[in-house]
Structure 1
């Protein structure tokens, strides 16, 4: 079956209700357990049978991709909105805050940021490319305005989001806001004042 076939046909009212329950449960389960959560867990949380899950999504990968797609869409919207903000440095920092906060509160997005296989799903791959472009535009603007050092790229920022989260992650249960300390340290390092040449070129992902 084509991955989209399960969602292309018009849905009856009961199917619409089942799909809404399924997506709501999937958001919650994936947020807590990450992309490794099973279809059985999601079906149980939704009060549905596994067969119902597969009537809406041809595979678990398609279900994970649908949830990840929503999250990345929200982050793209944040980045694109911030492109028109008055302060380029504040806009970039606000975006980085949103990206790290999403990792703190959503294990599925953590998995995606860390390279989970769902990144290869066609739906997710297209959205990540759009996100990369939006972040690149934010960084380009900040660089042009002298708000960050000249050698910083959008890919640098995307990788730093994961780095800041991972630095604070071991202590987040005791200090849930600790990541903000490391974001501040990281953002200071992006500033052009007293910048020294970096030892490696920016990654080309």
Structure 2
């Protein structure tokens, strides 16, 4: 038995989703996670019903914003081509992303279903896997790192941000990056 082809997504639905994500990114960065959803819909130029057709709740919307930003980071990192230093650029950009979106980190910490985080985690590992492999091939970072470690690095980069103002987030981020970069460096092979 043949199944019907999936219905194509309407162009206006794609545009509405993009507008909602752009508005959510701006409003949530300005006002934090408790920003009124009506304001996001208004800035996107759509009604509240359209917002809820795309995103079931505030958490789903915030996760979609984070996923889109990580996907964008992956595209920008890929544009750096075969540069083995792209991994370090990726980490710096990820740290800046964490500082900017510190308010959204609470969403990640408080998600009730681990499955809800799977797309974000997958995109994060995909974004960093290629640059990591190139840095390893060039002998710039430890050989024992894998894509799963990118999740751990992201967690460490965002640690200590709860209830911190931007200046403190920047200071913490710089120190964490310094420690991480030292720990990520390739070590001389042990004498056999």
Please give the TM-score of this superposition, normalised by the length of structure 2. 0.68
The residue aligned with 2:26 is 28
Are 2:145 and 1:145 equivalent residues in the alignment?
A: no
Q: Post-superposition shift, 1:151?
A: 1.4
Counterparts of 1:122-141 in structure 2 under 5 Å? 125-126=118-119, 128-141=121-134
Q: Which runs of 5+ in 1 are unaligned?
A: 197-205
Specify which of 94, 98, 112 is matched with residue 89 of structure 2.
Answer: 94
Q: Post-superposition shift, 1:156?
A: 1.5
Please give the TM-score of this superposition, normalised by the length of structure 1. 0.65
Contact 1:112 1:119 in 2 (8 A): no
Are 2:161 and 1:163 equivalent residues in the alignment?
A: no
Q: Which runs of 5+ in 2 are unaligned?
A: 1-5
Matched residues in 2 for 1:144 and 1:181: separation?
27
Counterparts of 1:187-198 in structure 2 under 5 Å? 187-193=181-187
Q: Post-superposition shift, 1:33?
A: 2.0
The residue aligned with 2:49 is 51
Q: Post-superposition shift, 1:97?
A: 0.6
Counterparts of 1:9-20 in structure 2 under 5 Å? 9-11=10-12
Specify which of 81, 99, 105 is matched with residue 110 of structure 1.
Answer: 105
User: Once superposed, what is the RMSD of the aligned Cα atoms?
Assistant: 3.9
* Compared CA separation, residues 46 and 91, structure 1 to 2 (3 A): closer
